[in-house]
Structure 1
Amino acid sequence: MFKRAIQLTLIKYNNVAALLRMHEEYTIMVYNREVLTTDISSSILTLTEHAKMEPVMQLLSSTQLETITVPNRLDASSSREWSSWFQRTFEAYVAHILGYYKTILSHATICERVMEELRVQSLAVQVALTNLDAHSRSVLETFEKFNAFATKEFNKQARLLQSFPRDIEALRQIRVHPTLLPPESAERYISDFIPTDKLVRWAEGCKEIHEGLLRDGKDLSRAVREVQEGTMAIRNNSGINLDQLEDAMAEIVQTVDQQSQIRDRIVR
């Protein structure tokens, strides 16, 4: 048995026409270099979910939240004690604010990762919608050609079935010429030589088949119409407002920048 080896070859666009004229059988796969690359490690890392705990928030005690009245006159010992208390309280506030800042950064990172996933998903949806539109358009174009031919044939068959009783009646009225009959034969008609009963039954069967084909044609028309309506519904309802999400992501980045400035001032 002769076996052919399958060879994968990178074909340039200019050589595709020459390849198609050859008497060989090929499967041509077209790739978009802007979407598909050989290095997908960055995309995989971007879309990989990593379990991570939320940053620990430093809670303030009730005493740290109370309003404290500092005496007007303090001795050296009391001044050092109050200074230490103020320092501890301020450090607690700083830790509390830094905890919020870390949480903001964590949420912003999640938003950026989700946004990257949405960008990829939006691109995939657009590719799928483009393919769906192409298939739907191909189905419609093929159906329109078929429907035009089928309608013409249905009309012709309907006219033949409608005229069949008149044709049978005409056969019963057309006399056979005497020279075509045996001598001293009685008057004969063409219907005497044709099994009209079988023809009538055959016509009734053809009529049933014709009506069945008409029903099938209506079902096919309805199916194609549903495909078109479904395609339009998917097209209208599957869009992702990526611009609005990009604006929201820009606001998140701006908020992170503002909080970073506040954090830098506190640390200084």
Structure 2
Amino acid sequence: MRDVLGITNDLSHALQKKDQNIVNAMRLVDLSKKRLQMMRDNGWEALLHEVSLFCNKHSILIPNMDEVYVVPGRPRRKTEERTHLHRYRVESFYVVLDLQLQELNNRFNEKNTELLLCVACFDPKNSFARFDKDKLVRLTQFYPNDFSSIELQVLDTQLQTYFIDVTSDPAFSTLDGIDELAQKMVETERHLDYTLVYLLLKLSLILSVATASVERAFSAMKLIKTSLRNRMSDDLLNDCLVSYVEKDIFDQVSNEAVLQRFQNMKERRGILSRSSS
């Protein structure tokens, strides 16, 4: 389990980042799948050797892998005979790795992977090296209600012009992600020139609703809106959720700053202080 979790550790951290980079995440997904498959195909002997060294060092009995394993408490004649090798290799080693691979394949199936790879074509790094007009047009098929047939034809032309424009503008040469690309398009008013391209870019950014930070917000909602607070308004719920989810930021705000902000919201008869709060 240590080796398996070590393989998926970088991927896990990448998926939990608030500023998640889709391109980097998909690369780590692919690498994790390959490493797990390589471990399944060729990692048993190395693992067995490592465990044997550990057992020898700590005087732990090592069973003969070719001997038949007997399940404690069960009559031997009523159980199917299997060796220790089968028990540890097939029923433990293979099962754990297959579960990990299956989980990754379920979460990042062919359709989801294609969607994310299409989104990655917006990546502005290395002078938009990942740009692929056909894949971006393909991306619109995931949003059939947002693009008409006529708009698809216009989008094809817009993408070609957009690519020439942004690759020739130094302002777009140092961008680090599609979020910065969207901001720069607004700053330079390119979002008004390439309305359909910007719409597709916004739809791509909405994919962040599946990130771990949003999942944590839904988990926090169960803690904030309890049975005793079931009449809480949406505005108050939103304010409480923001302060709870972003508590690392709010911890840096002093009580004095909060009191001063509340004091300045409107005229009050007295001056607020820590003791009165």
Place the TM-score, normalised by the shorter chain, in its bin.
under 0.3
Q: Which has the higher contact order (CA 8 A, sep 6+)?
A: 1
User: What TM-score, normalized to structure 2?
Assistant: 0.22
User: What TM-score, normalized to structure 1?
Assistant: 0.23
